[in-house]
Structure 1
Amino acid sequence: MFELYQLEQLVTIAKCGTLSEAARELYISQPALSRSMQKLEKDLGFPLFEHRKNRVIMTPTGVLAVSYARDLLKRAREMQDQLTLYNRTRNTISIGSCAPAPLWEMIPAYSSRYPDMAISTEIHAEEELLIRNLEEGIHRLIVTTGPVEKEGIISVPYFEEILYLAVPKDHPLARHKELYLRDLKNLTIILHSRIGFWYDLCRREMVNPNFILQDDLDQFVELSASSSLPSFTTNVSSRRFHRDYDRAFIHILDEEANVMYYCSCLEAEAEYLPKALQTAEETAGED
């Protein structure tokens, strides 16, 4: 019986038109490719090629074989993808979040709660992608800035995060108690790069900002504490990183900067909600 690699070779020959070019694309020698195709023809019991000068022409049977080969290779890739996804969902709790703060609590909580399962996390600013990933089984849990109102999905309030601008007390903005992001004009500011929807919000609402991006979270925390430049913080990150250094904190008034997160899962997997949220969901169900 033929092998999948032979079908890949057959499709490549049909695409390239010559054995030599197909061999280069497949990173094998031309004699090895020729022997593989001779074996395929022998196993099938009929010729697939007509050899012309400098070219290989597919016989009518060969053309049909290429069509079937493409379909089988596609199905084989789909099989691999689906089996990988199935195995991942059985052995991994995948959490997608629109921001990093929810993951700070969820990762240690789920690692303790499910010690025999891997915990994987992703941050996506695009909440429609998170919802699609939940529906398709890519994520078991997602965290968004609003409830997911779709049939078959449970969506429960999680916690609130509020954005502040932290500036040195001698900074011109330090006299303000509250500001909108649009009030921050031409501001050079230190920003962590992996902050999900927060980055898009700041980029969209601030006027001509100059972001000094930091990829490493620990370096960002250290730099924002010691630099004369402003940085953003939140009620959640301030508690986590003990950011009580000598700064003035300005509340950002934009509605989108005062966020209630929602944790969502499929109804059939309600057991994977954070434990406090399971209680809230059960109470709501009794009402």
Structure 2
Amino acid sequence: MVDNYLLEYLVAFAHTGTIGAVAEQLNVTQPTISRGLQKLELLLKVKLFERQPQKITLTESGIYAAQTAERLLKQHFDFADAVQNFDRKHNQLKVGATVMGPLVLIKHFSKSLSATQLTIDQQLLTDNNWQDELLQHKYSLIFTTTEIQTDQIESYYVGTEKLAIKITDFNALYQHDSVRFDELNGHEFIVSGNIGVWKTIIEHNAPRAHFLYQSYQTSLVELTRYSNFPIFKTNINTFIDKMRETKDQKRKLIPISDPQAHLAIYAAYLKGDRQSNNSLIKQTAKLFDQLT
């Protein structure tokens, strides 16, 4: 059986080309590296190196062995990560999302949710990678705008997030009961920099509106408080503001009527984890039921 450290020596040599560079990279003495590479040849019973007085190079078999060793080491680390992620997942529920709203909702109510050791990752996932994150057991549950049913993953509809604007009476749209995206063109909005898919939606549907993105929450709060700029709110934000008794006396909430302003939210999970996620999913759906 070949130990991993010998494979690491071989891969490092393939990348660096000299015993000295390998020793420096791995913080091991040169004689130790030389003995290790010789031992690897003996174990494999294959000539891996061409040795000359001042030079050592890989044979064709050595190059193949190094490439194979690199793949094996990656598989070993992937295996270890997968097992550790699996173990963590069964001792705590880690939740991620491709859209911020559901995370904001369950974070606000996390103390009243019955899920044990709930961990909420605020870094949004992309539509391209979230399925892999589930399959690698990095998350127990991921909120997404995609309904899915595969051999390993399924989803459950929990509710709909709806977009609205809040404007002061200085704005020409103030008297409206609802607005369309095309009516937002020409207006300037203060917008949080971390809104996920909503960014694409507002920019695509109101291409001539101006969006002043704020990376810092404090800047967003201050600008909202002391300016008359329109802002966006969803039914999730509005519900939490109501719970916190946060009031914005100078702005009126006006829903956006376009269907693109409504996002269906699904909780996606591995089919084998249905039971462990069931309680949190049902509680999240009940919270969505309270939204208007």
TM-score of the superposed pair, with normalisation by structure 1: 0.77
| 1:228 corresponding residue in structure 2 | 228
Query: Unpaired runs of 5+ in structure 2?
Result: 286-292
Q: 1:156 to 1:19 in 2, by over 3 A?
A: closer
Cα deviation code 1:114-144 (max 9, x no counterpart): 44x3513355474464345445543322323
CA distance 1:178–1:90, shift in 2 (3 Å): same
For the Cα contact (< 8 Å) 2:135–2:270, is it kept in 1? yes
Aligned residues: 277
| 8 Å CA contact retained: 1:225, 1:243 | no
Give, in angstroms, the shift of residue 162 of structure 1: 2.0
1:146, 1:57 → 2: CA distance?
52
Aligned equivalent of 1:121: 121
Unpaired stretches in structure 1, ≥5 consecutive residues: 281-287
Which runs of structure 2 are paired with 1:86-235 in the superposition (5 Å)? 86-107=86-107, 112-115=113-116, 117-122=117-122, 124=124, 126-127=126-127, 129-145=129-145, 147-150=147-150, 155-217=155-217, 219-235=219-235
Task: Choose which of 19, 23, 37 in structure 1 pairs with 2:34.
Answer: 37
| Whole-angstrom CA distance in 2 between matches of 1:279 and 1:95 | 12
With normalisation by structure 2, the TM-score equals 0.76
Distance in 1 between the 2:100 and 2:61 partners? 56
Alpha-carbon shift at residue 212 of structure 1 (Å): 2.0
Q: Is 2:242 the partner of 1:245? A: no
1:273 to 275, 278, 285: 278
Q: What is the Cα-based RMSD across aligned positions, in Å? A: 3.5
Letter in 2 for 1:277: K
Q: CA deviation at 1:232?
A: 0.4
Which AA in structure 2 matches 1:224?
T
Question: Residue 8 in 1 paired to residue 12 in 2?
Answer: no
| Cα displacement string for residues 121-172 of structure 1 (whole angstroms, at most 9, x for unaligned residues) | 3554744643454455433223233543446655433233321111221123
Give the CA deviation at 1:203: 1.9
Contact kept, 8 Å, 2:190 with 2:213, in 1: the verdict is: yes
Q: How far did 1:191 drift?
A: 0.8
Distance of aligned partners of 1:135 and 1:175 in 2 relative to their CA distance in 1, 3 Å threshold: same
8 Å contact from structure 2 (residues 130, 142) kept in 1: yes
Q: Percent identity?
A: 24
